[in-house]
Copies of this chain bind each other. A is one copy, B any other.
Amino acid sequence: MGLAALAITLTAPAHADTLVDNIQGQTIGADGHVERFKAMLFDDAGVVKALIHDGEKTPKKGFQYRIDGKGRIMLPGLIDAHVHVMGTGFAALTLDLSDTKSLADALAKIAAYAKAHPDRPWLLGGGWNQERWNLGRFPTAAELDSVVSDRPVWLERADGHATWGNTAALKAGAVTAASVAPAGGEIIRLADGAPAGVLVDNARGLVDAKVPPPTPRDYDAAFALAQQNFYRRGLTAVADMGATMEDWQTFRRAGDANTLYVRIMVYGAGIDNTIRIGGPGPTPWLYADRLRLNGIKLLLDGALGSRGAWLKAPYHDRPDTRGLPNFTQTQLGNLMSRAAMDNYQIAVHAIGDEANAVLLGAMENLAQTYKGDRRWRIEHAQVIDPADWPIAERVAKSVGLIASMQPVHQTSDRLMAEARLGPERLSGAYAWASAKAHGAVLAFGSDTPVELPDPWTGFAAAISRIDENGQPTGGWQVQERVSRETALAGYTADAAYAGFAEKRFGRLAPGLRADFIFVDTDPMTASPEAIRKTKVLETWVGGGKVWDAAKPEGGAAGAEPVKK
């Protein structure tokens, strides 16, 4: 080695460690319990080298950079075990009118949005509600035209049952006075019979069919917003439940461009997407553990709200139905077998107790053939017949079982679930503690964009079974709440384990990625109400800062590497 090379080596050492000290650190430890520490050392590659505990000496040298934690609380970066990344991004990309209080208010917001997005050929959005505006009627196309007439505007009502368009949108859908609404739909009309601007239910399809599919640039823009939604809330990793090939290509583009900040554990939407993405099996971990196709997402049934969840007995509030599955038990087994054969991890959406029973049965059958550490996942596992816990226990023992549950669904769904299920089936609903007691590993998430990707709301619900309004007093089916430690594990170590990532991230420990957050509230001691209001001060992924609440607009997507 020449002298010139040596000089370079000395000024740019290969191992530039960073010490973060003066912190109140908390993580799930190797033993599954909370471990506290006062300082942390990580290396240039963003991998933790050491935690320094009370009573241990914080090193004074042997590192290149030092970050003063200013006494703040440090936690591992949180993980949302059930998200729809692109759905979250596209929701964020469109115009949200849910906070508008009058038609004038909405029109002003639409005009500003149009001005801010001159290149978008259609303006899409939703969240309006003429009742909240005290309008006493639907808004009109002419009113929309007064702010945007150069291109179609197409805005969904808050309930998702009506959409409001301007004249350009109606024209795109060829909706005229002569148009006849399809069955199950209605065209709201003016006195002269011309379309007024709002289409209801099935009539919306006339225009929906003309909305251009998102371009790759739209995907990229939506993805950037999805990431922001995650890391600003303290999430450093997510499990994406049901990715298409286009979604995957978007993640790869971000990875290739070094703009993939949040780690994504991907589950392909069905067999075709999974095989197109993964080929002969799961991908390797890519981009320094920021992306991997883990397995496949299958949808066995629907949701409770729309009575699509598959129940053992009829719905309490509609005794003529018990919901419907998307597959027969045999079809489900075939699909799972096809995926298991290539070592894809299997994640199946199951909400109703019949769906969960059938799924657990299929898992037990499959475990006769596909052995080893499989960690099969039930997504939602919302209603379990207590009679089925023994099967869950056997599956958990033989191949591993993950209960991927969303605590916030319990508080959001409570009254609806009581109506749908009646009083007798509630003990098996959102039964987190029971799932854990029967051997399932709890991985917590939000199902965003169905709910906000806010782990703090979920954390508060998980430990209290009480909603943001303090309802119900004492908590709903409170025997199913979990400890603070279990909740933290569900949003960190166990959510990583649920995605075969426990040797890479999910805890703060030597050899794992330095994914961490600074927060203003201690979730181990604060009240649920306080936890809900937790402010994330900084988010770091792999030893690089991607979010700083003090500089919310700083850097590309807020990203900022460690200063060198």
How far, in angstroms, from A215 to B283 measured CA to CA in the complex? 16
Task: Say if the beta carbon of A554 comes within 8 Å of chain B.
Answer: no
The answer to whether B276 and A250 touch across the interface, beta carbons within 8 angstroms, is no
Nearest CB to that of A250 among chain B residues?
A: B279
> What does DSSP make chain A's interface, helix, strand, loop or mixed?
helix
Q: Is A286 an interface residue (CB 8 A)?
A: yes
A15 to B5, CA, bound (A): 7
User: What's the least CB distance linking A327 to chain B, in Å?
Assistant: 23
Contact of A1 among B6, B13, B256 (CB under 8 A): B13
B9 touches A256 (CB 8 A): no
Q: Is A160 an interface residue (CB 8 A)?
A: no
Query: What residue in chain B is nearest A16 (Cβ atoms)?
Result: B1
In the docked arrangement, what's the CA distance between A275 and B64, Å?
45
Q: Of B14, B217, B245, B286, which is within 8 A of A5 by CB?
A: B14
Which residues of A from 199 to 234 have beta carbons under 8 Å from B? 215-217, 219-220
Report the Cα distance A220→B279, complex, angstroms.
Answer: 9
Q: CB distance A216 to B275 under 8 Å?
A: yes
- In this assembly, does A71 line the interface, its C-beta being within 8 Å of a C-beta of chain B? no
Q: Which residues of B contact A276 (CB under 8 A)?
A: 245-246, 249
A116 at interface, CB cutoff 8 A: no
Convert A485-502 into 0s and 1s, putting 1 for each residue whose CB lies closer than 8 angstroms to a CB of B: 000000000000000000
Asked whether any CB of chain B lies closer than 8 Å to the CB of A550, the reply is no
- Tell me whether A286 and B256 are in contact (CB under 8 A): yes
A283 CB contacts on chain B under 8 angstroms: 253, 256
A9–B14 touching, CB < 8 Å: yes
Q: How far apart sit A284 and B258, CA to CA, in the bound complex (Å)?
A: 11
| Residues in B neighbouring A10, C-beta threshold 8 A | 6, 9
Taking CB atoms, residues of chain B closer than 8 Å to A8 are 14-15
In A1-21, which residues have CB < 8 Å from any B CB?
Answer: 1-2, 4-6, 8-10, 12-16
Tell me whether B13 and A5 are in contact (CB under 8 A).
yes
**Residues on the B chain within 8 Å of A4, using CB:** 62
Q: How far is the CA of A278 from the CA of B217 in the complex (A)?
A: 11
Residue from B2, B14, B245, B253 within 8 A of A14 (CB atoms) = B14
| CB-CB nearest in chain B for A5 | B15
**How distant is the Cα of A142 from the Cα of B215 in the complex, in angstroms?**
55
With a cutoff of 8 Å between Cβ atoms, the chain B residues found around residue A246 in the complex are: 276
A178 contacts chain B at the CB level, 8 A cutoff: no
Which of B12, B220, B280 contacts A215 (CB under 8 A)? B280
Q: B1 and A217: CB pair below 8 A?
A: no
- A415 in contact (CB, < 8 A): no
CB pair A279–B256 under 8 Å, yes or no, is no
Residue A61 interfacial (CB < 8 Å):
yes
Cα A256 to Cα B217 in complex, Å, equals: 25
User: How far does the alpha carbon of A249 sit from the alpha carbon of B280 in the complex, in Å?
Assistant: 11
Taken together as a complex, chains A and B put the C-alpha atoms of A277 and B219 apart, in Å, by 14
Residue A257 at the B interface, CB < 8 A? yes
Report chain B residues within 8 Å CB of A9.
Answer: 9-10, 13-15
In the bound complex, CA of A14 to CA of B1 (Å)? 9
Chain B: CB-nearest residue to A277: B249
Q: How far is the CB of A248 from chain B (nearest CB, A)?
A: 9
Query: Pick the contact of A279 from B5, B6, B61, B249 — CB < 8 Å?
Result: B249
Q: Which of A158-182 contact B (CB under 8 A)?
A: none
A217 touches B14 (CB 8 A): no
Find out whether the CB atom of B5 lies under 8 angstroms from the CB atom of A216. no
Residues of B within 8 A of A249 (CB): 276-277, 279
Smallest CB gap from A62: residue in B: B2
Q: Per a CB cutoff under 8 Å, which of B217, B245, B250, B257 touches A245?
A: B245
CA of A217 to CA of B216, assembled, Å: 28
**Given A14-B14, A245-B245, is A280 in contact with B216 using a C-beta cutoff of 8 Å?**
yes
Query: Which chain A residues in 333-376 approach chain B with CB under 8 Å?
Result: none
A408-438 residues at the B interface, CB under 8 angstroms: none
Task: State in angstroms the CA–CA spacing of A432 and B62 once bound together.
Answer: 64
Bound form: Cα–Cα A246–B245 in Å: 11
Please provide the chain A residues from 41 to 60 with a CB less than 8 Å away from any CB of chain B in the complex. none
For the complex with contacts A4-B62, A9-B13, 20 further pairs of A-B residues with Cβ separation under 8 Å are: A1-B15, A1-B62, A2-B61, A5-B14, A5-B15, A5-B62, A6-B10, A6-B13, A9-B9, A9-B15, A12-B14, A14-B14, A220-B279, A246-B276, A249-B277, A249-B279, A252-B252, A253-B283, A256-B284, A257-B284
A-B contact pairs, 14 of them (CB 8 A): A4-B62, A5-B13, A8-B15, A9-B9, A9-B10, A9-B13, A14-B14, A216-B278, A216-B280, A217-B280, A249-B276, A252-B252, A256-B284, A257-B284
